[in-house]
């Protein structure tokens, strides 16, 4: 699979570069800028460094693509692009502390597909999705129609989402960021017989749903961006799981083909946000949904 090898190569090169330089160039990586990226987040040195390095590697391969990057927005590499390439160069930036820590939980996430399919298929047009942990060799990837996989230096294993159908005794990732108060329904959910976990990276949390480590994951704060949800959607679906995505554009529910429309609308890419529920089974997803809505 040519595109998979291409994405794996980029992830490996960037991961190796960061591991080699993070410990000796701490000031450059840990720097906190006083301006935001195109998605509205404060930018750190590591965000800028990794985004630039990945885009330069893609350019060097002469890939006829439009890049949708969380850091720099829409980057057209060709006057007649064939591919769209989703890029979150660093997810989990909050795990990079203002002081040095040796092993922050960070991932690189990319997805690729055909622009011609994107117009009619939306998220189903994502052919390959890949998530690579930066400070380890742990890699999650999906091939449309062929499943989801986990690999590291020792093993490669096909993934299957959880088969749990009831919330009782389930393991759930719960993102409570930017919630000013808890509705009664959320209190009921949190007090249920569940175990709540978070890793500090939404994409890495959603990989746990792909692998069956989590039975479900919920983020209802309307803070997630395009590159937080699209690649994990492909992973979870390929593993047999389910993911409901509710898009909001300037606080109104958005009903269009948001990923295709983002290619020509930087404002939409910047301002669209999402609520999500992901689960290994549709039964569990619907039970969670009935509790929090």
Helix axes 202-211, 226-238, angle to 10 degrees: 10
Do both 148 and 188 map to the same domain?
no
**DSSP string for residues in 126-146:** EEEEEEEETTS--EEEEETTT
Predicted pLDDT at 85: 97
Question: Alpha carbon of 38 to those of 35, 43, 103: distances in Å?
Answer: 10, 10, 27
Predicted pLDDT at 34: 61
Predicted pLDDT at 132: 96
Q: State yes or no: pLDDT of 1 exceeds 60.
A: no
Q: In angstroms, rounded to a whole number, what is the distance separating the alpha carbons of residues 115 and 66? A: 9
Predicted pLDDT at 292: 83
The mean pLDDT value for 252-258 works out to 94
Select from 124, 158, 192 the last residue of a domain: 158
Predicted pLDDT at 178: 60
For tokens 């993934």, name the residue: 159
For residue 31, the domain's CATH number is: 3.30.540.10
Q: Which residues contact 126 (CB under 8 A, 6 or more apart)?
A: 86, 111, 112, 113, 144, 230, 231, 233, 234
Do both 53 and 88 map to the same domain?
yes
Strand stretches in 105-194, DSSP E: 107-114, 126-133, 139-143, 147-151, 156-159, 171-175
39: confidence class by pLDDT, cuts 50, 70, 90 = low
Q: In angstroms, rounded to a whole number, what is the distance separating the alpha carbons of residues 101 and 201? A: 16
Predicted pLDDT at 126: 98
Asked if the structure places residue 131 within a domain, the reply is yes
Q: How many structural domains does the chain have? A: 2
Asked if the structure places residue 12 within a domain, the reply is yes
Select from 134, 158, 182 the last residue of a domain: 158
Asked if the structure places residue 165 within a domain, the reply is no
Do both 68 and 208 map to the same domain?
no
More confident position, 123 or 29:
123
Do both 11 and 133 map to the same domain?
yes
109: confidence class by pLDDT, cuts 50, 70, 90 = very high
Do both 152 and 188 map to the same domain?
no
**DSSP string for residues in 251-290:** TEE--S-HHHHHTT-HHHHHHEEEEEEEESSHHHHHHHHH
193: confidence class by pLDDT, cuts 50, 70, 90 = low
Comparing 91-100, 113-122, 157-166, 271-280, the range with the smallest average pLDDT is 91-100
Q: Are 58 and 6 in contact (CB under 8 A)?
A: no
The mean pLDDT value for 276-283 works out to 98
Predicted pLDDT at 232: 98
Q: In angstroms, rounded to a whole number, what is the distance separating the alpha carbons of residues 49 and 28? A: 9
For residue 208, the domain's CATH number is: 3.40.190.80
Predicted pLDDT at 217: 95
Do both 41 and 126 map to the same domain?
yes
Q: How many CB atoms lie within 10 A of CB 100?
A: 13
Asked if the structure places residue 163 within a domain, the reply is no
Predicted pLDDT at 43: 66
Q: How many CB atoms lie within 10 A of CB 164?
A: 18
Do both 13 and 86 map to the same domain?
yes
26: confidence class by pLDDT, cuts 50, 70, 90 = low
Q: In angstroms, rounded to a whole number, what is the distance separating the alpha carbons of residues 120 and 115? A: 9
Q: State yes or no: pLDDT of 147 exceeds 90.
A: yes
Asked if the structure places residue 117 within a domain, the reply is yes
Comparing 32-36, 112-116, 130-134, the range with the smallest average pLDDT is 32-36
Comparing 9-23, 64-78, 202-216, 224-238, the range with the smallest average pLDDT is 9-23
Comparing 57-66, 99-108, 229-238, the range with the smallest average pLDDT is 99-108
Phi, psi of 264 (to 5 degrees): -115, 5
Asked if the structure places residue 164 within a domain, the reply is no
Q: Are 224 and 253 in contact (CB under 8 A)?
A: no
Pairing of strands 42-44, 107-114: unpaired
Range of the domain at 153: 2-158
Q: Which residues contact 264 (CB under 8 A, 6 or more apart)?
A: none
The mean pLDDT value for 193-215 works out to 88
Do both 185 and 267 map to the same domain?
yes
């Amino acid at each position: 699979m040519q595109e998979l090898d291409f994405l794996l190569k980029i992830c490996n090169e960037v991961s190796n570069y960061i591991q080699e330089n993070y410990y000796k160039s701490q000031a450059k990586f840990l720097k906190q800028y006083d301006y935001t990226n195109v998605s509205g987040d404060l930018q750190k040195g590591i965000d800028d460094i990794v985004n630039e390095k990945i885009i330069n590697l893609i350019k060097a391969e002469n890939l006829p693509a439009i890049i949708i990057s969380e850091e720099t927005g829409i980057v057209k590499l060709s006057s007649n692009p064939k591919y769209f390439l989703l890029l979150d160069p660093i997810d989990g930036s909050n795990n990079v502390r203002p002081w040095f820590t040796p092993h922050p939980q960070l991932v690189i996430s990319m997805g690729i597909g055909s622009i011609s399919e994107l117009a009619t298929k939306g998220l189903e047009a994502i052919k390959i999705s890949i998530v690579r942990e930066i400070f380890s060799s742990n890699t999650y990837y999906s091939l449309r129609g062929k499943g989801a996989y986990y690999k590291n230096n020792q093993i490669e294993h096909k993934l299957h989402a959880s088969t749990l159908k009831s919330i009782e005794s389930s393991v759930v990732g719960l993102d409570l960021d930017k919630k000013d108060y808890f509705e009664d329904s959320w209190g009921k959910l949190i007090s249920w017989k569940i175990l709540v976990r978070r890793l500090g990276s939404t994409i890495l949390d959603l990989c746990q749903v792909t692998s069956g480590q989590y039975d479900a994951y919920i983020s209802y704060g309307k803070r997630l961006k395009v590159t937080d949800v699209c690649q994990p959607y492909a992973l979870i679906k390929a593993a047999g799981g389910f993911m409901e995505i509710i898009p909001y554009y300037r606080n109104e529910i958005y009903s269009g083909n948001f990923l295709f429309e983002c290619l020509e609308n930087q404002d939409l890419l910047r301002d669209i946000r999402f609520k999500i529920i992901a689960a290994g089974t549709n039964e569990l997803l619907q039970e969670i949904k009935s509790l929090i809505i």
